[in-house]
């Protein structure tokens, strides 16, 4: 039961009488993220906590993790009878998110639908014009805005007074004033109990329960291809290291989570704070594994304390290397010098930490020769794991208009950095696909022998399992099939264009 205060009078309300918000993840699958496991929708955990602060009930239905299709989603929507249905969307998932909200409206036209996330935050006008199923769009950081919106709707107040939203009123677009980012992210409510924890596990680490924590939000770098720095307004806010360590302990002891993804865009930005976080986690002496992403320069900076990374439980670090072309890096404002990066992988190898590097191809001025150099760079750097992605211009990104003549795919579901949506000036999409397949084949054929001859260890077992999963995944099989069938047509296309 909950004790609710209305105008100075207290009233008892049970969960059964509270209005309800149902969060749904749409059934979108690109084939990449699910190779290694099933990941929790951390953002929805915080948003559900905000719903509770607004004195409503909340549910999280992770259709994506469950592998559910539209028939199961329809059944759950009918069974839930939620007053509000909410989704979050990236560009690749926007169409499936809209379909989910359309389904909720079809089942019950009185259902209030709410959409948030990176894509609708910037493309709210297009989204509202394209679908009558969306009642409200939450723009930017969602917790405070969602709570305020729900409180206004519950009270019958004008939603136009809520900062940080967009909606249609009598067919006209209403976009309210922007809402400042939260000053502190230490007190965000987290509805951990709403997750069905059995759905989340690592396919690489046996007997695992896979969770996630956010130790900071944002990134103040200027990488032009990244949606996150734009979403977080080039800001960076960090949590108290002790509270992060306490949260890890809570999740381990209460929900048996023993593998965590650190979801931060840039967790290591503040060297002193980052070392304090490592120390706080080490002091807990938890038998956990941590997976993270950061910048190569910070690993070089921290070379003397990498033992703390490992002792804190960090077993996996991913880096965006992108390309061998320094001029392309500079154009992307990546602030990375290619010649300095190789030592990062040597440093992590000494600490038995698995390294992953992601490379990007398909830039506007890409050529077969520039791709060849990037693929050679992957082998030269020799990370434990490599991923090859396609350059994807987000429809809200700076410079998108200039690139529009090169964009050959308008289906947002393909905007996943896996499927080419832009054709370089001197290459075709098929050539890009074939080059990626070639990159995977060459890299992992060399790696398999290396892994097999490594001394027996946790890292060796990890790499053998993830390589087996990776090479057996439908995503990789599809890429390799394109690489085989498309090799001759791609070569003919290269000769026809007379470039490279």
Those residues with Cβ within 8 angstroms of residue 220's Cβ, 6 or more apart along the chain or in another chain? 229, 234, 235, 236, 266, 269
For residue 220, pLDDT beyond 80: no
Supply 382's token pair: 């020799």
CB atoms within 10 A of CB 481: 11
Same fold, 18-175 and 192-497: no
Per-residue model confidence (pLDDT) at position 227: 57
More confident residue, 227 or 368: 368
Give the pLDDT band of residue 318 (cuts 50, 70, 90): very high
What percentage of residues in the chain have a pLDDT greater than 90? Answer: 72
* φ, ψ of residue 55 in degrees (nearest 5): 65, 35
Q: With 70 as the cut, is the pLDDT of residue 329 above it? A: no
Decide if pLDDT at 180 tops 90: yes
- Residue 38 — φ and ψ, nearest 5°? -115, 120
Residue extents of the structural domains in the chain: 18-175, 192-497
The full 3-state SS of 221-257, as one line of letters, equals CCCCCCHHHHHCCCCEEECCHHHHHHHHHHHHHHHCC
Q: What is the pLDDT of residues 194-208, one digit of tens each?
A: 999 999 999 999 999
Q: Check if the beta carbon of residue 354 is closer than 8 Å to that of residue 403.
A: no
Which of the given ranges, 156-165, 219-228, 431-440, 468-477, has the highest pLDDT on average?
Answer: 156-165
- Region 160-174: what's the mean pLDDT? 97
- Residue 4 φ then ψ, to 5°: -110, 135
Q: Read off the pLDDT band of 163 (50, 70, 90).
A: very high
3-class DSSP assignment, residue 160: helix
Domain covering 192-497 assigned CATH 3.80.30.20 in the classification: yes
The helix/strand/coil state of 382 is coil
Contact (CB, 8 A) for 118 and 231: yes
Q: What is the pLDDT of residues 298-310, one digit of tens each?
A: 999 999 999 999 9
Residues 223 and 334: beta-carbon distance below 8 Å: yes
Q: What is the largest CA-CA distance in the chain?
A: 79
What is the homologous superfamily of the domain 18-175 according to CATH? Response regulator (3.40.50.2300)
Q: Please, which residues have CB within 8 angstroms of residue 303's CB and are 6 or more apart in sequence? A: 347
CA dihedral 330, 332, 337, 341 (to 10 degrees): -160
Q: Is pLDDT at 157 greater than 90 in this prediction?
A: yes
């Amino acid at each position: 039961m909950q004790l609710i205060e209305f105008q100075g009078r207290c009233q008892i309300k049970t969960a059964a009488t509270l209005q309800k918000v149902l969060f749904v993840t749409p059934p979108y699958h690109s084939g990449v993220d699910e190779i290694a496991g099933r990941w929790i929708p951390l953002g929805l955990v915080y948003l559900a906590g905000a719903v509770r602060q607004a004195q409503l009930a909340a549910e999280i239905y992770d259709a994506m993790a469950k592998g559910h299709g539209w028939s199961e989603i329809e059944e759950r929507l009918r069974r839930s009878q939620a007053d509000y249905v909410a989704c979050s969307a990236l560009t690749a998932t926007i169409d499936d998110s809209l379909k989910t909200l359309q389904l909720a409206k079809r089942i019950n036209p009185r259902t209030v639908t709410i959409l948030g996330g990176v894509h609708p935050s910037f493309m709210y006008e297009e989204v509202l014009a394209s679908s009558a199923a969306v009642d409200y769009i939450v723009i930017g950081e969602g917790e405070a805005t969602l709570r305020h919106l729900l409180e206004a709707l519950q009270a019958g107040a004008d939603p136009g007074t809520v900062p940080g939203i967009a909606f249609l009123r009598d067919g006209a677009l209403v976009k309210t004033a922007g809402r400042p980012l939260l000053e502190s992210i230490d007190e965000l409510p987290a509805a951990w109990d709403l997750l069905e924890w059995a759905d989340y596990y690592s396919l690489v680490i046996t007997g695992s329960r896979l969770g996630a924590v956010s130790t900071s939000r944002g990134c103040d770098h200027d990488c032009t291809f990244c949606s996150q720095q734009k979403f977080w307004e080039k800001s960076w806010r960090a949590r108290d290291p002790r509270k992060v360590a306490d949260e890890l302990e809570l999740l381990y002891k209460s929900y048996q989570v023993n593998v965590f993804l650190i979801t931060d865009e840039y967790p290591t930005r503040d060297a002193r704070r980052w070392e304090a976080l490592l120390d706080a986690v080490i002091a807990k002496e938890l038998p956990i594994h941590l997976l993270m992403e950061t910048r190569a320069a910070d690993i070089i900076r921290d070379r003397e304390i990498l033992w703390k990374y490992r002792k804190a439980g960090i077993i996996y670090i991913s880096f965006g290397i992108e390309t061998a072309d320094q001029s392309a890096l500079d154009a992307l404002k990546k602030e990375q010098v290619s010649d300095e990066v190789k030592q990062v992988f040597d440093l992590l190898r000494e600490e038995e930490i698995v390294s992953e590097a992601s490379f990007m191809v398909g830039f506007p001025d890409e050529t077969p020769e520039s791709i060849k150099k990037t693929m050679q760079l992957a082998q030269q750097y020799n990370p434990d794991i490599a991923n090859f992605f396609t350059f994807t211009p987000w429809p809200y990104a700076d410079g998108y208009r200039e690139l529009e003549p090169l964009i050959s795919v308008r289906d947002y579901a393909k905007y996943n950095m896996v499927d080419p949506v832009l054709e370089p000036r001197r290459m075709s999409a098929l050539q890009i696909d074939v080059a990626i397949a070639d990159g995977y084949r060459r890299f992992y054929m060399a790696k398999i022998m290396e892994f097999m001859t490594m001394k027996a260890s946790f890292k060796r077992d990890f790499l053998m399992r993830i390589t087996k999963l990776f090479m057996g995944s439908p995503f990789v099989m599809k890429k390799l099939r394109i690489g085989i069938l498309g090799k001759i047509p791609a070569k003919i296309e290269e000769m026809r264009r007379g470039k490279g």
